[in-house]
Chain A
Amino acid sequence: MSKIGRFGDFGGQYIPETVMTAVHELEAAYDKYKDDPQFKAELAELYRDYANRPSMLYYAEKMTKDLGGAKVYIKREDLNHTGAHKINNVLGQLLLAKKMGKKRIIAETGAGQHGVATATVCALMGLECEVYMGSTDMERQSLNVYRMNLLGAKVTGVNSGTATLKDAINEAFRDWCSNIDTTFYCIGSVMGPHPYPTMVRDFQKIIGEEIKAQLMEREGKLPDAVVACVGGGSNAMGAFYDFIENKEVRLIGAEAAGRGIDTPDHAATVAMGDLGIFHGMKSLFLQNEYGQIDEVYSISAGLDYPGIGPEHAYLHSIGRADYYSITDEEAVNAFEYLSKTEGIIPAIESAHAVAAAMRMIPEMDKDQIVVINLSGRGDKDVYSIARYRGVELDEK
């Protein structure tokens, strides 16, 4: 087994030969620019002036009182430009793409947040943009499809397989194989072949760095736990990374249990997945005994991915991070709870993290601190939550 881009046994570069040179080119460019002062300064400026960083760390006083346990802080990635943490990664990757002289950007998207972020930054940087999106997801997230169109991106529906995120990734890989010279593939999570899991985590790790500094200023100490939702796992890796060395800080990922992990309708990769090799990486995947990748389900289009980033699989394997399975019902309850309690409508993805935190907070002491990474805002989910609750909304 090669040692390239490994987290323990996880990771690697399992991709067709056709894209191997492009991956190596990306690796070389990333190695060159990641510590380049000019690149870092440009990215810092974009983070500050365009993405609205640092994002706030908000003390959720009402929620704290109501739950009666640990103090609750909410990291407001939902207040970033485009409404989610995705912009952090996209700004980093597309700045790199520009340095590499790439003119055409492709991306996959599930909920549409990464697609919107990519379309946005392509508009900003004057790059051609094509976003692959499962046709099932396009129906669930029509608002984001239109948003991407407004931003000048072409959204291409993918009908193959389950017509969701994994199929969009398959199609983006196929496009990349065909257009390798001109095209930069902007992967939206800490997944795929090396260097993506490392690079995307590096572009997201500012979340955890900010949490640490902000909490130190407010409370003079580290949190007892950091909680984040996990699909591929980029907002969680971003929030966790700076705390990995602080062994006393519990790292909790919340994955989608859909209709329950005792049903076939879930996306709980850590709880129910097995070691496999797919989408360029060795990691945990939901699959059958012959290695066919499962159809997965979650109310959240951003979490219904049958795998997990290799660094999460590693953190799980060494016991450094724990992963809770959160059902649709728990997530919707948390969605409504945070809306009513704090006046913050979370993305349904992020509501999984809220639900996981709500499980543990009441059991904790009042002098303990939990930080919830609120990865995105929930405007996009209002229709699907209404549908879940059986409320008919007149969209006209």
Chain B
Amino acid sequence: MKNRIDACFEALKAEGRKALVTFVTAGDPDLATTENLVTEMFDSGADLVEIGVPFSDPIAEGGTIQRASLRALKHKTNLDQIFEMVSRLRDTTDKPILLMMYINTVFRYGTEKFFDNCKKVQIDGVIIPDMPFEERDEVKEYAEKTGVRSIYLVAPTSKERVKMIAEESKGFLYIVSSLGVTGTRSEISTDFDELLAPLKEGNYCPACIGFGISNGEQAKKMASYCDGCIIGSAIVNIVEKYGKDSIQPVGEFVKSVREALDS
């Protein structure tokens, strides 16, 4: 079977649309809500969903996702429960689901066992922000063996590294919009034309911009530079505010971004 991420971007390209990737932290405020949120986001127009695996020390995250991780860990959300949740979600959705997680969670679980389980419950890709290109061998063999896409990040500081990283990234390439950690920003000033110039020539996987995107207007602008955009903290902010009652407001927010992207 074709990897869902690859199929998704091919379909979007054929339709001339931009990808909307959305994020929630698993177990915030509880896993039942997360499960409903994932379904709601897909129903509201998300093309891919990233599920954040909570980690005690998320060094790439700003306050919003740090707090979400803490809320999730308070009731001991763990990776096995997240695998079970994705397994249930697979009864109702065939859209791409990814995990965003820190390398210690993969390593400690057992890298081989982790990727085998991803394949079993049909997780299509993983994003590991603290595993840079240089340490790719930590997962490469297992990711390739199981067909799970390993998505790498490119930052505004990457410059001459962009090409090398893009060649390694599978599924899509995650473009970090600005310096710093995750979290909404009022302004994103990176020169994406310059940053992404090395990818103009050649056959690379699709690229999506994330970090700091907080509304439809910003999403549209960011997606104009590449193949799509990723929204995390803006959604987690809504979950923080409404808790178990966040399904509807998150759905409305995702719809609004979808409409802006398609307009």
Contacts and interface: CB of A to CB of B under 8 A. Distances in A.
Interface of A: 1-2, 4, 12-22, 160-161, 166-167, 170, 173-174, 177-180, 274-280, 282, 285, 287, 289-293
Nearest to B154: A17
B137 A2 contact: yes
A274 B108 contact: yes
Contacts of B180: 18, 174, 177-178
Contact of B56 (A15, A173, A174, A293): A293
Closest 10 CB pairs of A and B: A291-B108, A178-B180, A18-B155, A291-B104, A292-B56, A21-B157, A17-B153, A17-B155, A293-B56, A173-B59
Given A177-B180, A179-B179, A287-B104, A21 B135 contact: no
B181 A174 contact: yes
A290 B181 contact: no
Interface stretch (B38-46, B125-133, B201-209, B217-225): B125-133
B108 A276 contact: yes
Contacts of B60: 16, 18, 174, 177
B135 A13 contact: yes
B176 interface: yes
Nearest to B129: A16
Interface string B71-103: 001000011000000000000000000000011
A278 B132 contact: no
Given A1-B135, A2-B134, 5 more contacts: A14-B130, A17-B132, A20-B157, A291-B102, A291-B109
A20 B134 contact: yes
Interface string B48-78: 0000000111111010001000100100001
Contacts of A22: 157
B108 A1 contact: no
B59 to A, nearest CB: 5
B165 interface: yes
A178 B211 CA distance: 12
A161 B161 CA distance: 33
Contact of B132 (A16, A289, A293): A16
Nearest to A178: B180
Contacts of A20: 132-134, 155, 157-158, 161
What is the interface residue range for chain B against chain A? 35 or more
A277 B102 CA distance: 9
A172 B104 CA distance: 19
Contacts of B179: 18, 177-180
Nearest to B106: A291
Contacts of A275: 107
Contacts, number: 122
A18 B157 contact: yes
A15 B103 CA distance: 10
Most buried by B among A16, A161, A290: A290
Interface string B137-163: 110000000000000111111110100
B105 interface: yes
A12 B135 contact: yes
B57 A166 contact: yes
26 contacts: A2-B134, A12-B134, A14-B131, A14-B135, A16-B59, A17-B152, A17-B153, A17-B155, A17-B158, A17-B161, A17-B176, A20-B157, A21-B158, A160-B66, A160-B70, A161-B56, A166-B57, A167-B57, A174-B180, A174-B181, A178-B181, A180-B157, A180-B179, A276-B108, A277-B107, A291-B104
A278 B109 CA distance: 14
Contacts of A278: 57, 104
A57 B159 CA distance: 50
Nearest to A174: B181
Contacts of B59: 16, 170, 173-174, 279
Nearest to A179: B179
A24 to B, nearest CB: 9
A32 B111 CA distance: 37
Contacts of B62: 174
A291 B105 contact: yes
B181 A177 contact: yes
A188 B107 CA distance: 26
B105 A290 contact: yes
Contacts of B55: 291-292
Nearest to A166: B57
A293 B105 contact: no
Nearest to B108: A291
B99 to A, nearest CB: 13
Contacts of B155: 16-18, 20
